[in-house]
Structure 1
């Protein structure tokens, strides 16, 4: 292991002229290779859906035909060959683009013959190994939403379950006034923007919903949990997670064999433009609107590791330009661990400032940048962060709490950070102003897949047999890679007052969260499908029924649906709370109603939920349209009581829910042959409550009956009780299962 002084002073021994020259040459060579790989990817994306070899073969065949059969001149034959290739490419790409604009697959009910033919064409025309950047030019634009009157009517109806008759009358008055005055003017301006912009909403969503939000980041950041059963050394695990993340998200962006295209149902491609922002991104605080900073980690070439408040750089490439293997990374992590323990805990860890409201952090960052500009730049430009935690417990409740705020030891501005605890358990934290849940799930999958492969195939024997950076001729070689470089923030004593305020804020606000979590083993999806009920809709009905059982009312609910099948698409709010769900919630424990009446209400609510999902995914939802109108209104200096109500009350949902898409979790479940505990105890996640008296609910499917729930709420709330919510939710699932079984038994009896 390297000495403390060696880590502090330099990344490599500066007196070793030969090694310095080797590093400089390797960096020049590596950046030249990056440039060539980018050109290769651009060529591949241009000639897609053909491969470059097939494209060249077709061109050669056409040119040969023109020369030999048509007896053309060489120049003419080459010209005709190029014209044929360009025409063929444009024709095929245009046809695929037209296919991708088809929305029949979003309709509910029986699959039509037209949709079946469309699916066969998609599978036959689109190569199975298409890479993530190939669909960029053919994905459809974000559609313009419903007519103004339809959207306004839908919104008014969506508020009916939570408003009184008097409040509904007032809302209807505001809606009518909006339609009769400035509504159509705003709609026309929005239509012009939709004609001009390929995605009329994405940049507004990023700028005004995320970057303009002045709340602390722990209110919007999300985290992905880890499995309970840990049998590996913590340095082993974090080394392979670091390796897998860099391999897929950094190297993979310019290597089609690593990062494949995400699809829905194995057919519909999703926009992967946001993948690059998973690594190398930082949200930089500003007084009014934050800025998003991205540096290509492939060119930067390092990550940052935080241990006990001390920061270090790990360079991800050796002196030959090869990526470090997990064995080498493990050695470097151990080296940092020893050095940080010798130094002791740094009580002036600037990461705590990232927990503050954005205006306060912006002011402190300005002063911090004057004190230690290079250290701040090193952290913000890093590919991602790794935190070696030794002070916090990773018992289940504390573990999920850490995933929300990191106890002030995680740099929340970074788009991606891993934290590993002493037991080896890992939690992944995201700042997702630039990407959404599907991309996060993809990143988590890659790390887990790499870990399972490394453990089962190699038994964690990761030392590279080719001798690239750890073993050479059977002898350990420490000269092939750079040692960790200390990031020194210098003397931050002038910020002691700010540190004290940040610690106080952390204790009062960031830590004002409690967690209830459970593995529900009675979410019977097979039973639901026997009566043609959507499991997703059943879960949402159970959540509403539990809410009504505990609070004697229902909460306005947020649940995102993906729009990534459109170019630069993000999400739309499903707005799952409807009158049908409220009626079912009221009916479930109403003894005056028969089981048949209760089941009919359940089926009506679930069928309606399926329609809401499809409608939101087809951009026929409500929230994004109304928010776009609100942005136009503010930009033109106009006022509207209706739109003010929409943004300030109609979009402030006390109940926020999020789930891992089933098709993503299926990829993880396929690895259960390596980890039998996956289906017994799937990973959880943390989705913080957005209202003082509300809930944040994250859930993920384990198997046909098991579902993991993690529920957050405020500690100081006199209303929300997440642990009790978990217990009541279990009981509601039992009652719904009994209701479905009773209906099945009655149906079977009548059939006989």
Structure 2
């Protein structure tokens, strides 16, 4: 999604003032530092696991093992085969009067060693099991006997109640794909969009790369993969995100939407409490295969701090306040009292005090947040002055659990023109007015004057499924657990003893005033140029696609390609395209994708100062169609069919190219799909609403190819319209038009 734009700007991000910035550090040093960061995370997580008891075997299992050994010893049995006697000999004598204590200590030490060995064996077995990817290659809906056996073994070795980070030390390392396979897959993906001449030239460059440079670059990646837990993730974070000097607004931040507001802050803090206690279950594919949970660590108390050449992520262990912006004024609102987390009614009381505060914003304070939407090097320089002149206020904002923007404008869904209102709603969440969001924070909770709310999320710390998981919990909790009184207030009673929210004081030096004005003009220009459109597609949804025996995600991806290109094709080719997309998806899920591998090879070449025309061409490509699905991960929280008004409408992001589209979609229940479409108004080649109409046509065209979908076009497009599907077309790979490729990216 938003990372598509950052990846497109990857090459410019390595340049400053028009000159290439050389990566002068030795590649050995970079690999060494990557490993240190990886092992540091492992050690911190191990200590946290030890403190919270998050292990495949709980601390109670140690007590059970120790008791069993003591019982055997009492029955004059020696399960240690003489080892405990040797341990007793090594313990201090203490004058011979504590002979029984020495026996207990020996048993405890032996039990601890045996317990640790069992846990290590369990970890090793689970890691070997999770390295199996054969289940990904099986036909949709089918499961072989080896896969069934694998599923059973994973369940056995996973324990009964795994917590959020239980699997982290058992997850296999990210594999480094074969460089020959990666180049072959890349050539396959670009073949449909290149002329014969261009493709032959690309193939020549690829062959030259394989012959001269590939083995050297691949060797460094393999070394890094053994030393660090992931050969690409830290470089992806640094070079795609943190080194980007572009504005975070639209380019990196994305938005999430909802239909209700109220107890959201309390619900978010409840989620943080569960997160800190690791009470959130890990995400499991097929209910068994765990996904990495590392990105959950930085949801809260996190800020992306600007730097002159690259940013860095600052994450605090805890924070007991939120930063609030209303009518250009900043406030600190504490989230806890001596009795713990503030109640929803107490938080409501604090926000109402801010809304009732008549004091005006100080000069230039109203537009101060526009600096977070400015180019990163400019914001980094201004921030140095703020850190000197307004250190306390800056620390309050950057050290907050998250940022809250109380907008003075409504964002409702009036009956007169609900479509236009939804589009305006999306635009307000993605860009706002350019000065009413603190884009550096991990996320900003936006509450409109009519009670509607949404999220603006900074992308570098995690992908969308992480923030989406939090948002699903927030909506379900505030609606179905916290609730409201009959008069509309949060449940509970105000607390008259609570101190007033603290108004932040910014001592803004005069020399930064022009920078604030310049940042505001740039943010407004960027905001006014983004064209957002939301398409609620209710003609059919997941259930219809499943009846066609197709992957729902692949079905939508092909429909998006059709909407973008409108080539005439047929059902047979459509099934080929769906199968190809599903195969590519499974390949990427098993760590054998193309783009991350080529990216890492390019980074190594830059460290070694090797010029590779092939890798340079790969990373110079543009993406005209950037797409992503927002997953619904916690359907068990409430009944979607009986409470459709409580469902999040998903979220969206900006286009990856000046003449391209950004398209996000979410399956709402079984009979609804919502699309979020963005483009730039400055482009003469794109129009978000036009693409929305094409997406609707494409979905109905494809549906009409199947027997169950013959009636859909007649029903929604009129009986006179041709339903034979002769207009149906698509591209049978992750590709684009005749000039530039497109890509499908994950949030």
Common fold: TM-score over 0.5: yes
1:677-716 Cα shifts (integer Å, max 9, x gaps): 357xx51312110101100001000122310001000001
The 1:482/1:270 distance shift into structure 2, 3 A limit, reads farther
Q: How many Å separate the matches in 2 of 1:632 and 1:132?
A: 33
Alpha carbons 2:640, 2:669 under 8 Å: kept:
no
Q: Which residue of 2 aligns with 1:205?
A: 236
The answer to whether the 8 Å contact 1:63/1:80 transfers is: no
Say if 1:244 and 1:447, in contact at 8 Å, map to a contact too. Answer: yes
CA distance in 2 between partners of 1:55 and 1:673 (Å): 46
**Whole-Å separation in 1 of the counterparts to 2:649 and 2:324:** 24
Deviation track 1:192-217 (CA, whole Å, cap 9, x = no partner) reads 11121111111101111100111111
Deviation at 1:77, TM superposition (A): 2.8
Q: In structure 2, what is the Cα distance between the partners aligned to 1:541 and 1:74?
A: 67
Counterparts of residues 101-250 of structure 1 (less than 5 Å): 101-109=131-139, 110-145=142-177, 147-218=178-249, 219-227=251-259, 230=260, 237=262, 240-249=263-272
Match of 2:58 in 1: 51
Note if contact 1:45-1:133 (Cα within 8 Å) is conserved in structure 2.
Answer: no
The match for 1:448 among 465, 475, 479 is 475
Note the aligned Cα RMSD (angstroms): 2.5
Match in the other structure for 2:576 = 604
Q: CA deviation at 1:736?
A: 1.1
Stretch deviating more after TM superposition (726-735 or 414-423)? 726-735
Q: Is 1:435 aligned with 2:462?
A: yes
**Any gaps of 5 or more consecutive residues in structure 1?**
1-36, 465-469, 471-475, 550-585, 589-597, 746-752
Distance 1:159 1:534, change over 3 A: same
Checking the alignment, whether the CA contact within 8 Å between 1:67 and 1:74 is kept in structure 2 is no
Q: Which among 89, 95, 104 is matched to residue 125 of structure 2?
A: 95
Closer, same or farther in 2 for the Cα pair 1:283/1:79, shift >3 Å? closer
Q: Distance in 2 between matches of 1:512 and 1:441?
A: 27
8 Å CA contact retained: 2:54, 2:163: no
Matches within 5 A, 1:309-320: 309-320=328-339
The TM-score, its normalising length taken from structure 2, stands at 0.80
Partner of 1:14: none
User: Does residue 488 of structure 1 match 2:518?
Assistant: no
Residue number in structure 1 paired with 2:27: none
* Deviation for aligned residue 1:61: 2.0
1:658 CA drift (Å): 1.0
**In structure 2, distance between residues paired with 1:259 and 1:615:** 28
SS, match of residue 84 in structure 1: helix
Aligned to 2:71: 64
Q: Deviations over 1:636-688 (max 9, x none)?
A: 11101111011111xx31111111125x16346x4436623357xx5131211
Aligned counterparts of 2:499 and 2:338: Cα–Cα separation in 1: 8
Task: Indicate the residue corresponding to 2:673 in structure 1.
Answer: 707
CA distance in 1, matches of 2:495, 2:517: 45
**Secondary structure in 1 aligned to 2:529?**
coil
More deviation, 165-174/599-608: 165-174
Structure-2 change in CA distance of 1:482 and 1:266 (3 Å) = farther
Alpha-carbon distance in 1 for matches of 2:654, 2:312: 23
The answer (yes or no) to whether the contact 1:355–1:405 under 8 Å persists in 2 is no
CA-CA distance at 1:718 after TM superposition: 0.4
Asked if structure 1 preserves the Cα contact closer than 8 Å seen for 2:664 and 2:677, the reply is yes
CA distance in 1, matches of 2:220, 2:509: 50
Residue 149 of structure 1 and its aligned partner are, at CA, apart by: 1.5
C-alpha separation in 2, matches of 1:41 and 1:674: 41
Distance 1:417 1:433, change over 3 A: same
Deviations 1:513-547 (A, max 9, x none): 11121111234433333342212111111111111
Are the aligned partners of 2:323 and 2:331 in contact in 1 as well (CA < 8 Å)?
yes
SS in 1 for 2:292: coil
User: How far did 1:166 drift?
Assistant: 1.8
2:685 equivalent to 1:655: no
Question: In structure 1, what is the equivalent of residue 418 of structure 2?
Answer: none
**Deviation of the 1:431 alpha carbon:** 0.7
Residues 224-279 of structure 1: CA distance to partner in whole angstroms, max 9, x if unpaired? 0113xx5xxx5xx1xx2111211222x223324x4222222321222222212111
Write the deviation string for residues 555-599 of structure 1: whole angstroms up to 9, x where unpaired: xxxxxxxxxxxxxxxxxxxxxxxxxxxxxxx234xxxxxxxxx11
Question: What is the number of equivalent residue pairs in this alignment?
Answer: 631
Between structures 1 and 2, the one with greater helix share: 1
In structure 2, distance between residues paired with 1:393 and 1:323: 29
Q: Secondary structure at the match of 2:706?
A: helix
1:544 matched residue in structure 2: 561
Unaligned runs of 5+ in 2: 1-43, 79-84, 86-102, 413-420, 712-747
Residue of structure 2 equivalent to 1:358: 376
Residues 1:324 and 1:626: Cα distance change in structure 2 (over 3 Å): same
Find the aligned partners of 1:522 and 1:226 in 2 and give their Cα distance. 22
Q: SS of the counterpart of 2:705? A: helix
Q: Who is 2:432 aligned against?
A: 406
The aligned counterpart of 1:621 is: 593
Look up the SS of the partner of 2:588 in the other structure: helix
For each residue in 1:106-165, what CA deviation from the matched residue of structure 2 results, as whole angstroms up to 9, or x when unmatched?
1231211111111122233324532112222111111121x2111112112211222222
Aligned residue number for residue 467 of structure 1:
none
Cα deviation code 1:85-123 (max 9, x no counterpart): 222222222222222222122123121111111112223
**Residues 507 and 86 of structure 1: is their aligned pair in 2 closer, same or farther, counting only changes over 3 Å?**
closer
Post-superposition, which runs of at least 4 consecutive aligned residues in structure 1 deviate over 4 A? 37-41, 44-47, 344-347, 455-464, 742-745
Decide whether the 8 Å contact of 1:599 with 1:743 is kept in 2: no
Distance 1:273 1:533 in 2: 32
| CA separation of 1:622 and 1:645: change in aligned 2, threshold 3 A | same
TM-score by length of 1: 0.80
Q: Deviations over 1:327-367 (max 9, x none)?
A: 1111111111111x443586533111111111221122222
Q: Answer with 350-359 or 362-371: which moved more.
A: 362-371
Do the aligned residues in 2 keep the contact of 1:529 with 1:535 (CA within 8 Å)? yes
- Summarize the Cα distance change of 1:732–1:248 in structure 2 as closer, same or farther, 3 Å threshold: same
Evaluate the alpha carbon distance shift between residue 350 and residue 665 of structure 1 in structure 2; reply closer, same or farther with a 3 A threshold: same
Aligned to 1:76: 106
Of residues 717, 727, 731, the one that matches 2:693 is 727
Map 1:732-743 to 2 at 5 A.
Answer: 732-741=698-707
CA contact (8 A) 1:67 1:77 kept: no
